[in-house]
Amino acid sequence: MKTFTYLFLISLISLTFSCSDDDDETVLTKDGTFPISELAGTWDATKAQFSVNTVSVDVVEDGGTALMSVQSNGRFTLTINPTDRDSYTVSGEMFWEAWKQTFYFAIVWDDDPGDWDTYGHTYDGTTLSFNGGADTGEYDFDNDGDMESCSVHFIFDRS
């Protein structure tokens, strides 16, 4: 009976420590490295780059425009206006993903609710830059009506 009690206690202690996942909990917040509300306003892109494999398109460099309007709650609309096709608008919400005592700039796109991507970012009060890895954006590279998954890099100046 002593052996059984000993093994039971050891198992219980091991289970208690192995089930603690406080460090892995993901928290979504509007207050991270800076409050998302600081982004409220209108932003003009100086770079709107979409890349996949060896193909890269910068809508602004090619003569088009990208304009983003952000609400104080982090909701935004982004209008992309390439020179070779009709403009289109995407929307979503910006926030911070707090994970392991670090904040990651994140966006949930309205066309994929409940799922968000994290982006590298810089922000100095007048310029906002964010870039994402593979599958963090979409662009119709061959203008056939089908959006292809890609990485994105935007640089915006406050209007």
CA distance 148 to 85: 16
Decide if 5 is inside a domain: no
Contact status, residue 49 vs residue 153, Cβ threshold 8 Å = yes
Decide if 57 is inside a domain: yes
pLDDT in tens, the chain (159 residues): 454 444 333 443 333 334 444 555 678 899 999 999 999 999 999 999 999 999 999 999 999 999 999 999 999 999 999 999 999 999 999 999 999 889 999 999 999 888 899 999 999 999 999 999 999 999 999 999 999 999 999 999 999
Decide if 63 is inside a domain: yes
Decide if 15 is inside a domain: no
pTM comes to 0.82
In 3D, which of 21, 22, 18, 29 has the Cα closest to residue 116? 29
CA distance 58 to 47: 6
> What domain range is 64 assigned to?
27-158
Decide if 13 is inside a domain: no
Decide if 22 is inside a domain: no
CATH number of the domain at 83, please: 2.40.128.20
Domains held by the chain: number? 1
Decide if 16 is inside a domain: no
CA distance 116 to 26: 12
Decide if 62 is inside a domain: yes
